[in-house]
């Protein structure tokens, strides 16, 4: 339920229990088959997509609301998530356009004139997510970050802002740790960072840097299958990884 | 006007023009005599201090509200400011304690049960600021960051969070550029970064690194006065500085 509509579909008594004119929107990121992906919702009876989101209840913290919404959309309890920006412009999108596009889902009279939205990004293990639509939508699906369609509201802008924040926080947040499965290959790790940085990296420099940082341990087992020589598998050395993050020294660029 | 009180002192008709239950709080930082300082307000007839803050009007963006509040408190029009965190816990502080402490300034009945606050930090040229109290306060003054008294609300926590955000953004934001006067010495620049990082840096390594980055130009003039040999003056090379920030490569640590 993105943006200004979240108070609409709920009965009057539960509207009273929501913080007014304040909403969350969540950029839920996963990494699969060398692609960074984001979870989007399709509104009932339309081809219109948006980010997941929703209101904050009066008896829950803003962070708890984000965790609740993420659990509802992904089925996951423990998710790494991070506030990254408040979208607080007076006119964040063309309201009349939204009212028209969604008139069969939401009574156009019920849209607020303005709401402030707190943007969160979440990093999830793609393989563990069970995408689930909400009361206004009928499909919840992963989209490659490079193939995002034009979204409702200001949600394309929000995704751009989330990626910019991720890039800035690459040295400080356990990004690889949360997006990759327990075991991964060096090319997979490199590809993840290339997707976030938006540019290619030299494989030999990347591998040398990662190994010098000491944040991964090489496993005995190799990745099975595939035509080439089986690549080594790695896992994060969590203690070392977190120590570097604390200092802000985990620079991959 | 920090936190939940900001709708209190305004007439009923103008309360209607404010976003409900949403406030801003501003950590305004300056650098003077080798100290990082923060601007605090003392409430009328009390010895209670807090951060500057206030509500958002329905017809202004959240960022515009922050600029307005900053201008009211500092007299400055062009300020570098940055959202850094939303403080959204259900119970951010002991309400009864606040009601009691400020009962001669604000009718205790008029406090909200809950408000969400958006935290901004602002970086200003200390010498250009004219501190001004607001309607609830009678003193607006700089405090050394290491000598902050116990503040009202959750404002000590907010300052800690702002400094943590600054540290994380040291490679990405024009922090020195906004906090230092046009011309400065190398020890002044070093001291600023030591204050933000919370640790001492080796002077020779620091100077070598700064010069290698090419972000400062040495001037012909030297700093006058003082018992020692007059130190060189520098100014930022803005083009080079901004190019490095764009890449996130301005690491001083």
What number of other Cβ atoms are within 10 A of residue B130's Cβ? 9
Residue A17 belongs to domain spanning: 11-168
Residue A103 in any domain: the answer is yes
Distance CA B205, CA B203 (A): 6
Q: CA of A127: how far to CAs of A54, A188, B192, in Å?
A: 24, 15, 45
Region B177-202: mean pLDDT is 91
Closest Cβ–Cβ partner in B20, B88, B249 for A62: B88
Residue B148 in any domain: the answer is yes
Predicted pLDDT at B226:
65
A146/A215 same-domain check: no
User: Residue B14: pLDDT band by 50, 70, 90 thresholds?
Assistant: low
pTM of the model: 0.87
Nearest CA to B236 out of B188, B194, B199 is that of B188
A17/A113 same-domain check: yes
A198/A130 same-domain check: no
Residue B138 in any domain: the answer is yes
Distance CA A153, CA B34 (A): 46
pLDDT in tens, B67-106: 999 999 999 998 899 999 999 999 999 999 999 999 999 9
Tell me A184's DSSP state: B
A163/A189 same-domain check: no
Q: Which residue has the higher pLDDT, B65 or B223?
A: B65
Give chain B's largest Cα–Cα span: 62
* Position A98 pLDDT exceeds 90: yes
Predicted pLDDT at B248:
60
A82/A57 same-domain check: yes
What tokens were used for B103?
Answer: 């009962």
Residue A174 in any domain: the answer is no
Tell me A127's DSSP state: G
User: Residue B7: pLDDT band by 50, 70, 90 thresholds?
Assistant: very low
Per the DSSP assignment, residues forming a β-bridge with B43 are: B137
What number of other Cβ atoms are within 10 A of residue A75's Cβ? 12
Q: CA of A200: how far to CAs of A40, A159, B176, in Å?
A: 26, 21, 31
Predicted pLDDT at A7:
46
The count of structural domains within chain A is 2
Shortest alpha-carbon distance between residue B192 and chain A (Å): 18
Residue B45 in any domain: the answer is yes
Predicted pLDDT at A253:
45
Model ipTM over 0.90? no
Minimal-distance CA residue of chain A relative to B115: A19
Predicted pLDDT at A9:
43
* Position A8 pLDDT exceeds 70: no
Give chain A's largest Cα–Cα span: 62
B37/B161 same-domain check: yes
Nearest CA to A184 out of A144, A145, A231 is that of A231
B144/B226 same-domain check: no
* Domain end call among B168, B194, B214: B168
Q: Which helix (H) or strand (E) holds B87?
A: strand B80-87
Cβ of B116 within 8 Å of Cβ of A63? The answer is no
Predicted pLDDT at A247:
65
B153/B80 same-domain check: yes
Chain B residues with beta carbon closer than 8 angstroms to that of A56: 88, 116
Look up the CATH number of the domain holding residue A97.
3.90.79.10
* Contact by Cβ (8 Å): B241, B173: no
B109/B63 same-domain check: yes
Predicted pLDDT at A15:
62
Distance CA B157, CA A95 (A): 38
A224/A110 same-domain check: no
Chain centre distance of CA B179: 10
Minimal-distance CA residue of chain B relative to A22: B22
Q: Which residue has the higher pLDDT, B50 or A177?
A: B50
Region A174-194: mean pLDDT is 91
Residue B2 in any domain: the answer is no
* Domain end call among B168, B196, B221: B168
Distance CA A37, CA A145 (A): 5
- Phi and psi at B63, nearest 5°, equal -65, -40
A205/A96 same-domain check: no
A interface with B, Cβ–Cβ below 8 Å? 19-22, 56, 58-63, 65, 83, 85-86, 88-90, 114, 116, 118, 167-172, 247-249, 251, 253
* Position A181 pLDDT exceeds 60: yes
pLDDT in tens, B93-104: 999 999 999 999
Lowest mean pLDDT, pick from A92-96, A248-252, B137-141, B230-234:
A248-252
pLDDT in tens, B35-74: 999 999 999 999 999 999 999 999 999 999 999 999 999 9
Predicted pLDDT at B110:
86
Could you tell me the end-to-end alpha-carbon distance of chain B, in angstroms, rounded to an integer?
Answer: 36
Predicted pLDDT at B223:
80
Return the HEC string of A186-227. HHHHHHHHHHHHCCCCCHHHHHHHHHHHCCEEEEEEECCCCC
Region A108-137: mean pLDDT is 93
Region B146-173: mean pLDDT is 92
pLDDT in tens, A20-52: 999 999 999 999 999 999 999 999 999 999 999
pLDDT in tens, B229-241: 788 999 999 888 8
Region A118-141: mean pLDDT is 95
Look up the CATH number of the domain holding residue A212.
1.10.10.10
Q: Percent of chain A, pLDDT > 70?
A: 89
Distance CA B210, CA B249 (A): 12
Predicted pLDDT at B2:
43
* Contact by Cβ (8 Å): B49, B156: no
What number of other Cβ atoms are within 10 A of residue B119's Cβ? 26
Chain A residues with beta carbon closer than 8 angstroms to that of B248: 167-168, 170, 253
Predicted pLDDT at B83:
95
Buried b (16+ CB within 10 A) or exposed e, B168-205: bbbbbbbbbbbbbeeebbbebbbbbbbbbbeeebeeee
* Domain end call among A168, A196, A229: A168
Region B203-227: mean pLDDT is 86
Residue B1 in any domain: the answer is no
Residue A106 in any domain: the answer is yes
B230/B130 same-domain check: no
Predicted pLDDT at A12:
52
């Amino acid at each position: 339920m993105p943006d200004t509509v979240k108070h609409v579909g709920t009965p009057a008594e539960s509207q009273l229990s929501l913080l007014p004119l304040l909403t969350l929107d969540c950029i839920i990121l996963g990494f699969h088959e060398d692609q960074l992906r984001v979870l989007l919702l399709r509104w009932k009876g339309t081809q219109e997509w948006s980010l997941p989101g929703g209101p904050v209840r009066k008896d829950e913290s803003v962070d708890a609301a984000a965790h609740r919404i993420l659990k509802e959309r992904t089925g996951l309890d423990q998710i790494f998530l991070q506030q990254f920006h408040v979208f607080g412009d007076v006119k964040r999108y063309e309201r009349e356009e939204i009212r028209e596009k969604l008139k069969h889902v939401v009574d156009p009279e019920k849209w607020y004139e303005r709401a402030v939205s707190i943007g969160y990004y979440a990093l999830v293990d793609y393989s563990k997510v069970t995408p689930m639509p909400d009361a206004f939508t009928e499909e919840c699906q992963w989209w490659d970050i490079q193939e995002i369609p034009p979204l409702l509201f200001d949600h394309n802008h929000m995704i751009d802002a989330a990626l910019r924040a991720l890039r800035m926080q690459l040295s400080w947040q356990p990004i690889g740790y949360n997006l990759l499965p327990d075991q991964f290959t060096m090319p997979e790790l490199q590809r993840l960072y290339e997707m976030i940085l938006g540019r290619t990296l030299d494989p030999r420099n990347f591998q040398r840097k990662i190994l010098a940082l000491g944040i991964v341990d090489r496993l005995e087992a190799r990745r099975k299958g595939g035509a080439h020589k089986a690549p080594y598998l790695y896992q994060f050395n969590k203690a070392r990884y977190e120590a570097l993050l604390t200092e802000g020294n985990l620079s991959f660029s």
